[in-house]
Structure 1
Amino acid sequence: MRIVVLIKPVPDPASAGERLGPDDRLDRAAVPAVVNGNDEYVLEAALKLVEAAGEGEITLLAMAPANAPETLRKALAMGAHRGVHVTDPALAGSCAVSTARVLAAALRELEFDMVFAGIDSSDGVGGIVPAAVAAHLGLPYLSYAARIEPDMASRTVRVRRISPTGYDLLEAPLPAVIGGTQALGEPRYPSLKGIMAARGKEIVTRSMADLGLDSAGIGGGAATTAVLGTQMPPTRGATEIVRGSPDDGAARIVEFLAERRII
C-alpha cells in the first residue's frame, strides 16, 4: 500500500504579530510554520491504514518555500517514511490552480495507490487543490471523507463521505485522490523515538526544472486570483468575569446583550 499525503506548511495561528506584507499577502517568513491541521488528520488516517495492513509506505509531498523541511520533519515524526519538497523562487504567489498543476507534476514521478489531502487549508480555506490535482491526473476524487476503506485485492477504495443530509458511501477504483476531514480521527503526537527517527528520514527536493515545468502559467504573475485587500481582525476586548449566583450571571448577560442592542 503506497499513500502520498499532501502537506501544506501554514503560518502558526498561535503566533503573535502582524502577518501581512506590503502586498497584502501573508508574510510567511514573519511567523513560524506548522503542518496544516486537516493534513494531520489525513496523515493519521494513512498511518492507521498502513499499520493495519502491516505493510506500506507513506510519502509526504509539499510545495512550499525553502524552509519547509523543518515543518515536514514534524510530519515525518508522526510516522511517515519520506518526504518530497517542491520549491522554486518562481513558485512564489502561485494560486490554487498553479499549485495543483505543480503537485500533479510531482505526483507523476511517484508510485502510489492513493493520494490523501486535507479538505482545505487554514490559511487560504479554498479547498479546490485536491480536486484540481485529481483532474490533472485523470483520477477519481472522493471528498469530505470521514472513513477510508481501501481493498487492495480488488483495487478499489470505499469512502464514507459527509453530506448535508448525513453520509454517502462512495466507491472508486485505485489510484484515487481523497480529501479528508477531521472525522477521520485525532492525529497522534510524535513520540521521542519518532522525532529522533525523523532527523534521518529522506526529504527529496525538486525544482520546476526537475519536474519539466516552465514559469508560464505559474507564480504570482500568472495567478488566476488576486488579493485586493486584507486586514487583521480587530482585537477582542477584555474578558468580563461575572461573580455571584447563577441569577446574577444571567442578569448580567441580559444586560450585556441589551447594551449592544442584540436583544
Structure 2
Amino acid sequence: MSTTAEPERRDVLVCIKRTPAVGARIALTDDGLAIDTRHLGFTMGPHEECAVEEAVRIAESHRAAGGTARVTVLTVGPPDAAEQLRYAISMGADEGVLVEVPTEELDPEPTAASILAGLRSAPDTRYDLLLFGTDSAVAGNAQAGIRVACALGLPMVAGVKGIRFDDSGLELRRGTPAGIEIYRVPLPAAVGVKEGINVPRYPAVTGRMRARKAPLRTVPGEPAAGGLRTVALRRPREDRPETVVLGSGAAAAPAVVDVLAELGVV
C-alpha cells in the first residue's frame, strides 16, 4: 500500500453491500429465515453510499492538487450485485470488483475472507485507504471492516464522520454523547464511515452512461463457512394509529374541548 512518502498517488478502496431497498412493510419468506425480496429493488446501504461519496471527494481533491487518484469499489455477492458496483461508478468511482458468492447473506467471517480474496486477486495494487460502512443496513454486525483491518495489520476507526489528510496520515473525527473524538492514524488505514459525513451526489447522465460500459473484474469468493446461523427473523411490532370518532355536529363540542385540554391547548 502506498504511503505518505508518495503524495503524487492516492488509491482508495470502498467496500459496499447490496441490500434491499425497503420503503414499505417488510415481508418475510414462508420459513421466516430471510426477507422476501421478490417485489423489492436493491441498493447499497446508506453508510456505504456515504463512503463512496467520500472516496470520490478525496480523489477529486487530490487530483485538483496535482496528484493522481483512483477509487475502486468492491462488493461480495451474487452476479446481480454488479448493479450496485455500476451505481458507485456512476457516482465517480473508477472501477468495480465483484467477489462472487451465491448469496448476499454471509456472516462477517466469510464476508471478510471474500474481501481479502478480492484484494489478493490484484497483488500489485496497494491502497492508501480502505473505506467501509460502519455497519450494514441488513445485519448491522459491524465486523467485516474490523476483520479485514486486523488481517492486514491496519489501524481501524469506525463511526467516523470526518476525514482529513495531513502530513502524518489521517485525522478522523467521531461523534460521541460526550462530544467529538479525534484520532490520528498513519497510512495505510481502514475507516468505518457513518451516514452524515456528507451528502451523496445524484449521478449525472454522463456518469450513468460511463458506468453502463465500465468493465467489472470478477473474483471467486472465499468458501469459508462462518460461525453464525439464522434461527428466525421477526418483524417489529407495528404501532398503528387509532382513530376515535368524537361525535358529529354540536354534540361533539364537549369531547373536542376535553381533547384540547389534555393537549394543553386550552
Task: Return the TM-score normalized by structure 2.
Answer: 0.80
Amino acid at match of 2:240: G
Q: Does 1:49 align with 2:64?
A: no
What do the CA deviations read for 1:127-177 (whole angstroms, capped 9, x no partner)? Answer: 1111111011111101111111123xx461111122332112111111111
Gaps of 5+ in 1: 243-247, 256-263
Amino acid at match of 1:148: I
For these two proteins, the number of residue pairs brought into alignment is: 241
CA contact (8 A) 1:104 1:133 kept: yes
Q: For 2:183, what is the secondary structure of its paired residue?
A: strand
CA contact (8 A) 1:15 1:31 kept: no
Post-superposition shift, 1:35?
1.1
What do the CA deviations read for 1:207-249 (whole angstroms, capped 9, x no partner)? Answer: 13xxxx4x3xx1xxx331222211233455357599xxxxx69
Residues 249 and 77 of structure 1: CA distance in aligned 2, closer, same or farther (over 3 Å) = farther
Q: Which residue of 2 aligns with 1:24?
A: 33
Q: Does 1:70 align with 2:73?
A: no
Gaps of 5+ in 2: 1-9, 246-255
Query: Percent identity, aligned pairs only?
Result: 26
Residues 145 and 3 of structure 1: CA distance in aligned 2, closer, same or farther (over 3 Å) = same
1:37 to 40, 43, 46: 46
Q: Which residue of 2 aligns with 1:9?
A: 18
Q: Which residue of 1 aligns with 2:5?
A: none
What do the CA deviations read for 1:84-141 (whole angstroms, capped 9, x no partner)? Answer: 000133x665311221121122123342110111111111111111111101111110
Runs of 4+ in 1 over 4 A off after TM superposition: 27-30, 238-242, 252-255
Q: Does 1:177 align with 2:190?
A: yes
Post-superposition shift, 1:191?
1.0
CA contact (8 A) 2:174 2:181 kept: yes
Residues 104 and 226 of structure 1: CA distance in aligned 2, closer, same or farther (over 3 Å) = same
Based on CA coordinates, which of the two structures has the bigger radius of gyration? 2
1:142 to 135, 140, 157: 157
Residues 193 and 130 of structure 1: CA distance in aligned 2, closer, same or farther (over 3 Å) = same
Equivalents in 1 of 2:87, 2:241: separation in Å?
Answer: 35
Q: For 2:213, what is the secondary structure of its paired residue?
A: coil
Task: Return the TM-score normalized by structure 1.
Answer: 0.81
Equivalents in 1 of 2:141, 2:237: separation in Å?
Answer: 23
What do the CA deviations read for 1:4-49 (whole angstroms, capped 9, x no partner)? Answer: 0111010111255624353612345553211111101111111111
Amino acid at match of 1:177: A
Equivalents in 2 of 1:86, 1:116: separation in Å?
Answer: 17
CA contact (8 A) 2:22 2:40 kept: no
CA contact (8 A) 2:26 2:235 kept: no
2:259 to 238, 248, 251: 251
Q: Does 1:118 align with 2:133?
A: yes
Within a 5 Å distance, the mapping from 1:180-199 to structure 2 comes to 180-199=193-212
Q: Which residue of 2 aligns with 1:245?
A: none
Q: For 2:196, what is the secondary structure of its paired residue?
A: helix
CA contact (8 A) 2:18 2:104 kept: no
2:98 to 82, 85, 100: 85
CA contact (8 A) 2:12 2:128 kept: yes
Q: For 1:184, what is the secondary structure of its paired residue?
A: coil
CA contact (8 A) 1:101 1:136 kept: no
Equivalents in 2 of 1:250, 1:122: separation in Å?
Answer: 44
1:96 to 103, 108, 125: 108
Q: Does 1:61 align with 2:74?
A: yes
